Amino acid sequence: MPGRKRKLTLVSVGKIGKEEKAARAKAEAALKLPRDDLRPPEYLSQRAKDEFMRIVNETERIGILDNLDLPFIAIYANAWDRYQLCLTKILEEGEAPVTKTKYGDKPQLSPYLRASDIYKKDILDCSTKLGLACTDRLKLIVPKKEEKPASKFDKYLKGNG
């Protein structure tokens, strides 16, 4: 669907009528889903399951995840686990371990470097969708109008003087 992404009613700063605002709020409330089925899938490793549960527990306070986010959390946790494995291998073997060839010893870039880049991209993509980064959560914050301190002339402008 072309055009701008729809914003939550609370975040919207455009001029909309009271009826439209109430209708939008009602539609958004109907979209709120339960989060009772956020358990790590069996195929995840233990470290990925721990990361999965950490994300679910940390985001519970702000209520931004629900049952439909399960695949994204699983992808994130799996990519995070694999990224950690790649980093461990890179630290053990180095970024360019020496490989024996018929022409002699030759340093070659570790295949774990490329794999870690792929997992890093998956982590960043999923964390954006899930609102795990602070900058992504800031998009959910309701902007508050600053109240100006009342001046001594305000009572005359309001007709109370």
Percent of the chain with pLDDT over 70: 76
What is the token pair recorded at 109?
Answer: 């870039």
| CA atoms of 100 and 89, how far apart (whole Å) | 19
**10 falls in which pLDDT band (50, 70, 90)?**
low
Domain assignment present for residue 23? The answer is: yes
Domain assignment present for residue 47? The answer is: yes
- What is the SS3 assignment for 107? strand
Q: Is the pLDDT of residue 8 over 80?
A: no
Domain assignment present for residue 6? The answer is: no
Bridge partner list, 98: 107
pLDDT, one tens digit per residue, over 89-135 is: 999 988 887 777 788 888 888 889 999 999 999 999 999 888 888 88
| CA atoms of 69 and 14, how far apart (whole Å) | 29
Considering the entire predicted model, what is its pTM?
Answer: 0.66
Domains: count for the chain: 1
Domain assignment present for residue 159? The answer is: no
**84 falls in which pLDDT band (50, 70, 90)?**
very high
Domain assignment present for residue 58? The answer is: yes
Domain assignment present for residue 110? The answer is: yes
26-31 long-range contacts (CB < 8 A, ≥24 apart) are: none
Domain assignment of residue 51, given as a range: 18-142
Domain assignment present for residue 128? The answer is: yes
* pLDDT value for 140: 59
Domain assignment present for residue 31? The answer is: yes
